[in-house]
């Protein structure tokens, strides 16, 4: 399985290098309704996922489904406008395959964003939450199976999955740009259903501040591959068990889009300071 994975990665990288002349040093993965960042890149190239060999195709609402490569702050940046999720039917190997490809292309810094439900009562809709740690509550791991040491170690250490220097830089940028920034622990679930009141209570009890259906597998593979990681959640709804109200994906996307300009500013200013 692993030699096939390496061969697939090489095939994908070779195809992308025909269109991308300068290797990206920074990779971004944008979550639901959060595609603004790519529009600010200069000299950008847009490549639909369907045109990339071995890439899955995103089916989730609010995900554009293309790779955009361009310039920002003197750096070449590769932006995934839309990601893949287990709830779409993809395996976690599929979900995280783009991270492998972006690393092989040359990216050493990975910035992730997502839309998530806020379980911390101090959080409100539209808040940005810097992810300082996570809980894998998906019941599966993208590293299960044979391990190829050339891709990463068999037992990667997860004591600091989110790079401390990047966290400090994001805090500095937020302070200087007067961007309110919460911090907390993200818990990853498979979805696609939203959680029950009892599940929210349990997840809050074990230390989670926000919940979502992505990011954790990508971070695990990113750590395995040796990239430095920063991740930010947009809180799109309040998941407080005693005051819970029904929620639609349209509402999630609307809140995410409203918060997108602030998130975009934080990410772009952080990239400029790397």
Helix (H, G, I), strand (E, B) or coil at 130: strand
Give, as one character, the DSSP assignment of residue 177. T
Q: Which of 131-145, 166-180, 195-209, 252-266 has the lowest mean pLDDT?
A: 252-266
Q: What is the pLDDT of residues 81-137, one digit of tens each?
A: 989 999 999 999 999 999 999 999 999 999 999 999 999 999 999 999 999 999 999
Write the CB contacts of 187 (distance below 8 Å, at least 6 apart in sequence).
134, 135, 137, 203, 206, 208, 210, 211, 212
Domain CATH number, residue 183: 3.40.50.1580
Closest CA to 43 of 78, 69, 61: 69
pLDDT tens, residue by residue, 6-53: 999 999 999 999 999 899 999 999 987 777 888 999 999 999 999 999
Question: Residue 1: what pLDDT?
Answer: 43
The 10s digit of each residue's pLDDT in 166-186 is 999 999 999 999 999 999 999
Give the containing element (helix H, strand E) for 173.
helix 164-176
Instruction: Give me the number of domains the chain comprises.
Output: 1
Distances in Å between the Cα of 129 and the Cα atoms of 14, 32, 234, 240 are 36, 15, 6, 17
Could you list the residue range(s) of the whole structural domain that residue 125 is in? 2-273
Mean predicted confidence (pLDDT) in 203-226: 98
Among 123, 241, 260, smallest CA distance to 184 is for 123
């Amino acid at each position: 399985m692993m030699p096939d994975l390496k061969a697939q990665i090489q095939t994908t990288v070779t195809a992308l290098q025909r269109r991308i002349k300068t290797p990206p040093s920074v990779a971004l993965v944008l979550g639901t309704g959060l595609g603004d960042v790519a529009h600010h890149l200069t000299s950008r190239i847009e490549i639909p996922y369907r045109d990339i060999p071995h890439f899955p195709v995103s089916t989730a609402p609010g995900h554009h489904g293309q790779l955009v490569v361009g310039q920002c702050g003197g750096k070449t940046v590769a932006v995934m406008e839309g990601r893949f999720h287990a709830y779409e039917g993809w395996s976690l190997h599929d979900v995280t395959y783009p991270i492998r490809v972006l690393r092989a292309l040359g990216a050493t810094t990975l910035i992730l964003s997502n839309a998530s439900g806020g379980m911390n009562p101090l959080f409100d809709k539209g808040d940005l939450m810097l992810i300082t740690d996570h809980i894998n509550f998906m019941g599966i791991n993208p590293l299960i199976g044979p391990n190829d040491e050339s891709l990463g170690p068999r037992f990667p250490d997860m004591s600091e999955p989110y790079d401390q220097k990047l966290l400090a830089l994001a805090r500095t940028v937020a302070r200087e740009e007067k961007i309110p920034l919460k911090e907390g622990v993200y818990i990853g679930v498979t979805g696609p259903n939203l959680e029950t009141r009892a599940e929210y209570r349990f997840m809050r009890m074990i230390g989670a501040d926000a919940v979502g259906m992505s990011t954790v597998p990508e971070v695990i593979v990113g750590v395995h591959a040796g990239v430095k990681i920063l991740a930010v959640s947009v809180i799109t709804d309040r998941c407080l068990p005693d005051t819970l109200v029904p929620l639609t994906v349209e509402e999630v996307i609307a809140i995410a889009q409203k918060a997108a300009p602030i998130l975009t500013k934080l990410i772009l200013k952080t990239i400029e300071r790397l």
